[in-house]
Amino acid sequence: AQTVTQSQPEMSVQEAETVTLSCTYDTSESDYYLFWYKQPPSRQMILVIRQEAYKQQNATENRFSVNFQKAAKSFSLKISDSQLGDAAMYFCAYRSPIPVSSGDKLTFGTGTRLAVRP
């Protein structure tokens, strides 16, 4: 079974600075999807960025980018020019390819709580 590990329970960043959130995962599959989700106090999970394992190029969405290291099974999220609205829980998630052996589901890490200091 796949596992996702986020080793930083809490992080803090100064507004306008850059922060990197870590994520590692374990899988025997060669093709899969990785995601970062943001969960503000409203509880609603919001997709921040996604990466397809077969793509070597790191995904980028505005101020958010990833560092995907497939061999190391590492998938970190970099937030540039941090804003107060970035304060939230961030979850790393893994999704198997289809057809699947484990069903179409997301496997989540335990999350990193990001605080942004004004």
Partner 1 sequence: GAGVSQSPSNKVTEKGKDVELRCDPISGHTALYWYRQSLGQGLEFLIYFQGNSAPDKSGLPSDRFSAERTGGSVSTLTIQRTQQEDSAVYLCASSLGGRAYEQYFGPGTRLTVT
Q: Which of 19, 49, 75, 95 lies at the binding interface for partner 1 (CB under 8 A)?
A: 95
Q: Which residues contact 103 (CB under 8 A, 6 or more apart)?
A: 96
- What residue has token string 């374990």? 26
Binding track, positions 75-94, relative to partner 1; x by CB under 8 A: ----------------x-x-
Helix (H, G, I), strand (E, B) or coil at 85: helix
**Stretch 27-66 residues interacting with partner 1 (CB under 8 A):** 33, 42-47, 50
Task: Choose the stretch contacting partner 1; rule: CB under 8 A; options: 19-27, 60-68, 79-87, 108-116.
Answer: 108-116
